[in-house]
Homo-oligomer: A and B are copies of this chain.
Amino acid sequence: MLNIETPAVIIDMEQVERNLRRYQQCADLHGCALRPHTKTHKIVRLAKMQMEFGAKGVCCAKLSEAEVMAAGGIDDIFVAYPVIGREKIERFLALSRQIRIICGVDSIEGASALSDAAAAHGQRAEVRIELDTGYARAGVQRDEILEFAKRVSEMPGLDLGGIFTFKSATLAGKPTLDLRAAAEEEGRLLSETAELLRSNGIPIRDVSGGSTPTGELVAAYPGITEIRPGTYIFQDVSELRQGVAEPEECCAVVKVTVVSTPTPYRAVIDGGSKVFAADKKPMTPPVNLPGFGRIIGHDELIFDHMNEEHGVIVRNDAPTGLKVGDVLYIVPNHVCTTMNLFDFVYLREKDGSYTRTRVDGRGRVW
């Protein structure tokens, strides 16, 4: 076996295939399009694999990610984010002359600037309106969306194709473990809004929602035409604790080495916040994770805290049993931000060989 120096991310491609198949089959069953969010893997090869498995296109968070995916050959991309500022608008319009690219709009300022620039090029930019369904991040408020959609639909440089939301596992604006109720609320709010707009003469074709925890349930809701899960390709501890993934489905693991055992009760690994990210803190509702990751084969150990290069492993009132040089494999709490910290990762191919692969879209936030 290839000797992979730690810390490193290793991805099991056989399980990746199973994970892709699971969500694709569910989407197909309900006649719903699957548009995977590439933010989880950021790798062109994996995006192409998702397309081969039946995805209708991909989703990106930022324009710079879309540029990487487009350069790699993906020809249908939804940037689920507002495109704001003259340079970004020009970059978006340049891409839209080459491939189908869609972006989100949720402000009149943003929509009209995009419309004006598109019209000046003799183009029409395909947009979807973002609806705030309770996550309280971006998105038009429900009581303002009809008026907003009317104005957008009249802008000469825009082609209003649909609506979308990001709601994750929330219910009435609060994190929840009741995924069925969360998905029902999401499906209802999206489809009601689509109907409201249609009944006012605004043709809404694409109705897009669903993330990894709720995607399979949202796909089943009447009127939903597309789901956009991201994490499903690798799964992680967050999804595990939400009951969406099984341990064996978590197929992107971090290989680390124990570098210090200052006392029998504490071991230090060579991965900290520069490896695991720190955005999913332990004990955050509703998941209440006990640590920064799941140490495979060591349910007795807790990944307690981190600095940049140090991860501290403890065990409740007992020696850890770890010694310097021990190798551990850890499933991160949040695999998307972990992937964003690595320039390259290792794919374990189905034949047992390893491929060192660039994380093509890493760090592309602009």
Contacts and interface: CB of A to CB of B under 8 A. Distances in A.
Given A109-B325, A309-B62, A365 B260 contact: no
A210 B343 CA distance: 31
Contact of A5 (B87, B106, B275, B310): B87
B307 A137 contact: yes
Nearest to A140: B262
Interface in A264-281: 266, 268, 270-271, 273-275, 277-279, 281
A169 interface: no
Contact of A342 (B85, B132, B324, B363): B363
Interface stretch (A23-31, A201-209, A333-341): A333-341
Q: How many copies does the complex hold?
A: 2
Given A61-B309, A310-B138, A106 B260 contact: yes
Contacts of A263: 141
Interface in A223-263: 257-263
A336 B308 contact: yes
A81 interface: yes
A323 B139 CA distance: 14
Contact of A6 (B8, B85, B132, B136): B85
A279 B262 contact: no
A324 B89 CA distance: 14
| Chain A, interface residues (CB within 8 Å), range | 35 or more
Given A107-B324, A325-B84, A337 B273 contact: yes
Contacts of A341: 340-341, 363, 365
A82 B259 contact: yes
Contacts of A113: 325
A306 interface: yes
A301 B227 CA distance: 35
A315 interface: no
A308 B84 contact: no
Given A141-B262, A343-B363, A323 B85 contact: no
Contacts of A141: 262-263
Q: Of A39, A259, A273, A341, which is in contact with the most chain B CB atoms at under 10 Å from its CB?
A: A259
A362 to B, nearest CB: 8
A308 B259 contact: no
Interface in A99-142: 106-107, 109-110, 113, 132, 136-141
A88 B306 CA distance: 22
Given A84-B259, A140-B262, A275 B365 contact: yes
Given A82-B324, A139-B260, A277-B277, 15 more contacts: A3-B87, A5-B87, A61-B308, A81-B309, A82-B259, A109-B324, A113-B325, A137-B262, A138-B259, A138-B262, A138-B310, A139-B262, A271-B365, A274-B337, A308-B336
29 contacts: A3-B87, A6-B366, A7-B365, A8-B366, A61-B309, A62-B270, A82-B259, A84-B257, A84-B258, A84-B270, A84-B325, A107-B260, A107-B324, A110-B325, A132-B262, A136-B262, A137-B312, A138-B262, A138-B268, A271-B365, A273-B277, A273-B337, A278-B281, A279-B306, A279-B308, A340-B341, A341-B341, A341-B363, A343-B363
Closest 10 interchain pairs by CB?
A138-B260, A278-B279, A273-B279, A109-B324, A61-B309, A107-B324, A82-B259, A84-B259, A138-B268, A278-B278
